[in-house]
Amino acid sequence: MVDIKSISTEQRNKSTKHMDVATTQEILKMINEEDKKVPEAIEAVLEDITKVVDAVTIALSKGGRLFYIGAGTSGRLGVLDASECVPTFGVPENMVIGIIAGGDKALRNAVEGAEDNKEAAIEDLKSYNLTKKDFVIGIAASGRTPYVVSGLEYAKSIGAKTGSITTSVNAPITKIADYPIAAITGPEPLTGSTRMKSGTAQKLILNMISTTAMVKLGKVYENLMIDIQMSNDKLVSRAISIVCEVTGVEEKTAVAYLERFKSVKHAVISILGKIDEVEMIDELLRQNNGNIKEALRSLKA
């Protein structure tokens, strides 16, 4: 049996003990007051998050991949962050990968015993041909989920760098990961329901890791999603707006360049660098690791 009393996220929250007899607004205030503690818990571990981001950036820049592995809420959050990297930053689908115990079925329905299956974690990572160039982040509120622990141990055994995100005190996973993050969020408003404060903290940290790594990899210009994929009407409109914002051209001109190049980044370089050849733009980006500012600066050198 799991020693529940030793897990800080499983402790009773004294501030919400009378939740069952409170009014609707009183319950909401209790939850809101507890949620306010999450950013503070993250602020306390910004140095640790920095180390993870820098290590992830190095791995990705050298052709490695970023894996998130978790069970239940933690696994779902990892899959969510990974899936959003493609349309947001225009990266290949196999660059950031989310793995959840029990497979895709577990995204919607609980899969009995999945989080306790150590062998499944190893098989799941092997199915992606994990290598030492990759970076694996284990996500677990308690920090002791067997599936996640096993996955990290396997990743380390083949030489891959590892990180962890947990919200509980003295979590075993922090002793396994090369780069642990332990944002201690305290007892949940609803005892043991780690989809609440713990899940919020994990989501915020995942946002920070993926977004900052992509910024450092040249996927962002100023604070604009320069590598956005134009996969729906809203994203097409956003792409047009970005080209107009960065270059100062009118909407009609932006549309024409986007129709020609099918890429915000190419359109911007073509307009600002006065370059028409796709091959030349491709080469500029290749030489400057996809960074627009560096590419344009190199034209003036």
- Per-residue pLDDT of 204-241, as tens digits, reads 999 999 999 999 998 999 999 899 889 899 999 999 99
State the chain's mean pLDDT as an integer. Answer: 94
Q: Whole-prediction pTM value?
A: 0.91
H or E, element range at 67: strand 66-70
The pLDDT of residue 185: 96
Residue 117: CA count within 13 A, CB half-sphere: 18
Respond yes or no: is residue 245 known to be catalytic.
no
**Residue 204: exposure state from Cβ atoms within 10 A (0-12, 13-18, ≥19):** middle
156 burial (CB, 10 Å; 0-12 / 13-18 / 19+) is middle
Q: Single out the catalytic residue among 84, 153, 245, 294.
A: 84
pLDDT along the chain (301 residues), means of 10: 71 91 97 97 98 98 97 96 94 96 91 90 97 98 94 98 96 96 95 94 98 94 90 93 96 96 94 93 90 87 65
Catalytic choice (10, 34, 115, 188): 115
HEC sequence for 234-257 = HHHHHHHHHHHHHHCCCHHHHHHH
Residues 137, 69, 85, 130, CA torsion sign: positive
The domain spans of the chain are 4-216, 233-300
Q: Tell me, which fold does domain 4-216 have in CATH?
A: Rossmann fold (3.40.50)
Q: Which CATH number is correct for 233-300, 3.20.20.70, 3.50.50.60, 1.10.8.1080, 3.40.50.1000? A: 1.10.8.1080
Distance CA 155, CA 128 (A): 12
Q: Report d(CA 150, CA 19) in Å as an integer.
A: 37
- Note the pLDDT of residue 289: 84
